Structure 1
């Protein structure tokens, strides 16, 4: 019974901190305290420490002995690699989905896109950021390839954290994102694979460029920055 309770407390701590990181309420560069989090959760430090280990395995944090746990700020090179890998995964999933379950793919994309209109930028499962994540996950849900979907789900927390921390809360940027999602849906409906691939490449490249600019801007603000 005690072992099960300890596991449940670790899961609680992990899920709470993970949610904060991927939604942006725990931003990049935050130094988390085992003691403070344990007090807020009403637990000992052990479940929090175990949660930190799991988050470090996801490459979201770095455990600093005697100091705490640092929420990692990705560099431009890491963002580029993530976006390159993401593009390959998403395009493969889209190809499989168009071959194996095109109606399911289009129906899910259509449903998610409709809910994006007027959605708040962040905060909860119906926020724009959460729906953006769901839109891209739909590529994998219809792909009928569990390994491919699993690879994306393992990467997803880092993608969500980038989106929450580095996407400027700007109406023009959100509208550009929505237009690109609408174009992806239209091309999926038409079954135009060549144009769909081009649109997906442009979409993810724009995201990569925007994140890189945000990192450069924040670096310039830091002491000793340009």
Structure 2
């Protein structure tokens, strides 16, 4: 029996679209937006936009001010520090745990990701590059085959995407440099050099986000 998926409600569509704009940085942190403004851009009424705003406020992406609008909450400095530290712990732990057979299957996928990153960089598609960047790091976390770590790592994904987009659009980091560092990380995984990978990852996270993992 064929399962027919239900279409999204207007409120769900508004929520997804507004959240995507926040994650890509097209609605930057610190900007004040109104229900009317967003409803006009989305071609919908204010009601679904209001529902979306309330949901996004609950999730911490917006702060609502009655009769004034909604403030896009900037990435707090402490959040960036916490995300970078959490990523460092999970990613280095995953690489240390990689079995030889898992590593052998992983490296070609990482090389394919590097090719995709170069293509997107050449096209200047920074938003898609930020997604593929996040997926690159997730590949070796998944390869370590620990469902608890994968679940925790995925809970960081939206914050990771937004931080990547902010860094890229502000020109704080450059795609060529990121690809160069991703290539080095791939080479170290292939060589089973977990210590070298940990050092290279710390430098990479510091370069991209301006935050050094705690304890280093």
Structure 1 residue aligned with 2:210? 209
1:171 and 1:67 mapped to 2: Cα distance? 32
Structure 2 residue aligned with 1:94? 95
Structure 1 residue aligned with 2:157? 156
Report SS of the residue matched to 1:134. helix
User: Is this contact kept in 1: 2:14–2:48, CA < 8 A?
Assistant: yes
Structure 2 residue aligned with 1:122? 125
1:180-191 aligned within 5 A: 180-191=181-192
Kindly tell me the number of residue pairs found equivalent between the two proteins: 205
1:123 and 1:207 mapped to 2: Cα distance? 14
Shift of 1:100: 7.1
Structure 2 residue aligned with 1:177? 178
1:116 and 1:106 mapped to 2: Cα distance? 15
User: Is this contact kept in 1: 2:91–2:140, CA < 8 A?
Assistant: yes
1:205 and 1:156 mapped to 2: Cα distance? 18
User: Is this contact kept in 1: 2:172–2:208, CA < 8 A?
Assistant: no
Cα RMSD, aligned residues only: 2.8
Which ranges of structure 1 fall in alignment gaps of 5 or more residues? 212-226
Structure 1 residues 105 and 64, CA gap change in structure 2 (3 angstroms): farther
TM-score (norm 1): 0.76
1:137 and 2:138 matched? yes
Q: Which runs of 4+ in 1 moved over 6 A?
A: none
1:99-110 aligned within 5 A: 101-110=102-111
TM-score (norm 2): 0.79
1:162 and 1:177 mapped to 2: Cα distance? 14
Shift of 1:210: 7.1
1:11 and 1:84 mapped to 2: Cα distance? 32
Which ranges of structure 2 fall in alignment gaps of 5 or more residues? 1-5
Structure 1 residues 176 and 68, CA gap change in structure 2 (3 angstroms): same
1:8 and 1:143 mapped to 2: Cα distance? 38
Structure 1 residues 121 and 81, CA gap change in structure 2 (3 angstroms): farther
User: Is this contact kept in 1: 2:167–2:209, CA < 8 A?
Assistant: no
Shift of 1:89: 2.4
1:193 and 2:155 matched? no
Shift of 1:135: 0.9
